[in-house]
Amino acid sequence: MLKELQDIGLSEKEARVYLASLELGQTTAEKLAKHAKVNRSTTYVQLESLMKRGLISTHEADKKAVFAPESPEILKRLLLKQRDDINSRERDLATILPMLVQQYEGAGEWPLVRFFPGARESASIENILWFHA
Question: Nearest to residue 55, comparing CAs of 81, 83, 84, 87?
Answer: 81
The radius of gyration of the chain's CA atoms, rounded to the nearest angstrom, is: 25
Q: pLDDT-derived band of residue 131, with 50, 70 and 90 as boundaries?
A: very low
C-alpha pair distances (Å), 103 with each of 94, 97, 100? 15, 10, 5
- The domain 2-72 is placed in CATH, from the list 3.30.365.10, 3.10.310.30, 1.10.10.10, 3.50.50.60, at 1.10.10.10
- Using an 8 Å Cβ cutoff, are 24 and 35 in contact? yes
Per-residue model confidence (pLDDT) at position 67: 97
What is the Cα 9 distance to its own chain's centre? 4
Per-residue model confidence (pLDDT) at position 132: 43
Please count the CA atoms within 13 angstroms of the CA of 80 that sit on its side-chain side: 5
Q: What pTM does this model have?
A: 0.69
Question: Nearest to residue 50, comparing CAs of 35, 72, 31?
Answer: 72
Spatial neighbors of 50 by CB under 8 A, at least 6 apart, are 14, 17, 18, 21, 56
Q: pLDDT tens, 12-54? A: 999 999 999 999 999 999 999 999 999 999 999 999 999 999 9
Residue 133 has pLDDT above 50, yes or no: no
Residue 60 has pLDDT above 90, yes or no: yes
The residue extents of the domains of the chain are 2-72
Q: pLDDT-derived band of residue 111, with 50, 70 and 90 as boundaries?
A: confident
Residue 99 has pLDDT above 80, yes or no: yes
Spatial neighbors of 115 by CB under 8 A, at least 6 apart, are 127, 128
User: Mean pLDDT over residues 73-92, rounded?
Assistant: 94
